[in-house]
């Protein structure tokens, strides 16, 4: 996901790394919310939707975001130190709420547009998916990594981000939503006539659901997958037609012969791999296998790590293959 920092100069002036230190992650959210006049629990919800509050040791996500708040620009300290990262994210979010007066800033419902802009998504419906996920977390509350927020259901002001009418194109899988990748990120084909489909490849996004959708819609990404699945409820977005070759495997032969399924989350954190996600993905995999006559075994349903010649390790050690295959 690209965080398009429109007010970059103001962003860096607001967030000196040396002033951002806090003793705990909870303190960091308290301080950042107060400093930048952002609803504290909304800030926590945004971070949880992005990373489950895990900064991953300052390593970038697949789409180039850093830290708990997944910022894309900033100093090394802001990228690697949790406290500085939260302060930077709060400054960025606050910069997108410039039209709110002091009273309106207290109401999380008024922050929907700012949260949508924080996504950096070029397409408005994808930005809305991102904001909806944040407000769903806000409604449920957060209890993770020493940070707590109470459940707080609000009716956000979606002005300008109203849910669009469904796209006319039908999906290959009836349970999916169609939200296409950039045409620069896959190859038009005529499978299985041109190439047989005999593999299904399981991936983990190393980022958020909406962030991954946004990334695949960026024509500079040079990557895509046929499907992306959300952690919280198993929602499925189709981004590339199965007849076309998504660029997901890192191996041209496997791109020709496979369907790629991305799963929201990080390979180092099992909390992303919910039962809803497993069941939804397994139903999709079963449907694909039935339609193309793919055997439902671990020779033909594989992880990205098993693709020859790649350096990827997903879906990683916390992916429960036994559970997944039992559902398939």
- Give the residue among 52, 56, 36 at the shortest CA–CA distance from 44: 52
Catalytic choice (50, 162, 163, 262): 262
Q: What is the DSSP letter of 111?
A: G
| Angle formed by the axes of helices 209-216 and 124-140, nearest 10° | 170
Strands 176-178 and 227-229: unpaired
User: Residue 245 — φ and ψ, nearest 5°?
Assistant: -95, 105
Q: In which residue are the tokens 């895509």 written?
A: 224
- How far is residue 293 from each of residues 200, 249, 288, 290, measured CA to CA in Å? 12, 21, 8, 5
Cα three-residue angle 77-223-66, rounded to 5 degrees: 10
User: Residue 259 — φ and ψ, nearest 5°?
Assistant: -110, 130
Whether 262 is catalytic is yes
Alpha helices in 156-297 (DSSP H): 209-216, 252-257, 275-292
Q: Is the peptide bond before 171 cis (omega within 30 degrees of 0)?
A: no
Q: Is the peptide bond before 192 cis (omega within 30 degrees of 0)?
A: yes
* Token pair of 136 as six digits: 């769903």
Strand runs (DSSP E) across the chain, as ranges? 142-144, 147-149, 176-178, 186-187, 199-204, 227-229, 236-238, 245-246, 258-263, 301-303
List residues with catalytic annotation.
262
């Amino acid at each position: 996901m690209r965080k398009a920092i429109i007010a970059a100069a103001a962003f860096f002036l607001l967030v000196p790394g040396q002033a951002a230190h806090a003793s705990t992650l909870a303190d960091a959210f308290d301080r950042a919310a107060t400093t930048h006049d952002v609803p504290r629990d909304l800030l926590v919800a945004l971070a949880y939707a992005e990373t489950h509050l895990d900064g991953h040791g300052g390593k970038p996500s697949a789409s180039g975001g850093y830290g708990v708040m997944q910022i894309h620009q900033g100093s090394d300290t802001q990228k690697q130190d949790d406290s500085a990262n939260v302060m930077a994210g709060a400054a960025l979010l606050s910069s997108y709420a410039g039209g709110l007066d002091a009273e309106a800033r207290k109401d999380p419902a008024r922050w929907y547009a700012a949260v949508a802009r924080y996504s950096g998504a070029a397409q408005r419906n994808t930005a809305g998916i991102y904001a909806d996920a944040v407000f769903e977390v806000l409604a449920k509350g957060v209890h993770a990594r020493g940070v707590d927020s109470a459940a707080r259901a609000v009716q956000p002001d979606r002005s300008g981000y109203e849910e669009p009418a469904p796209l006319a194109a039908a999906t290959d899988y009836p349970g999916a939503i169609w939200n296409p990748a950039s045409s620069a990120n896959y190859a038009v084909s005529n499978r299985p006539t041109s190439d047989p489909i005999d593999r299904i490849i399981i991936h983990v996004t190393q980022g958020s659901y909406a962030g991954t959708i946004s990334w695949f819609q960026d024509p500079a990404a040079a990557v895509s997958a046929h499907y992306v699945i959300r952690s919280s409820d198993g929602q499925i977005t189709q981004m590339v037609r199965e007849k076309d070759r998504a660029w997901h495997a890192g191996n041209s032969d496997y791109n020709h012969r496979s369907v790629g399924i991305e799963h929201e989350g990080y390979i180092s954190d099992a909390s992303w791999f919910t039962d809803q996600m497993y069941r939804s993905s397994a139903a999709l995999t079963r449907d694909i296998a039935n339609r193309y006559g793919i055997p439902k075994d671990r020779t033909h349903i594989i992880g990205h790590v098993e693709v020859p010649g790649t350096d990827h390790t997903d879906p990683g050690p916390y992916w429960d293959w036994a559970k997944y295959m039992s559902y398939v």
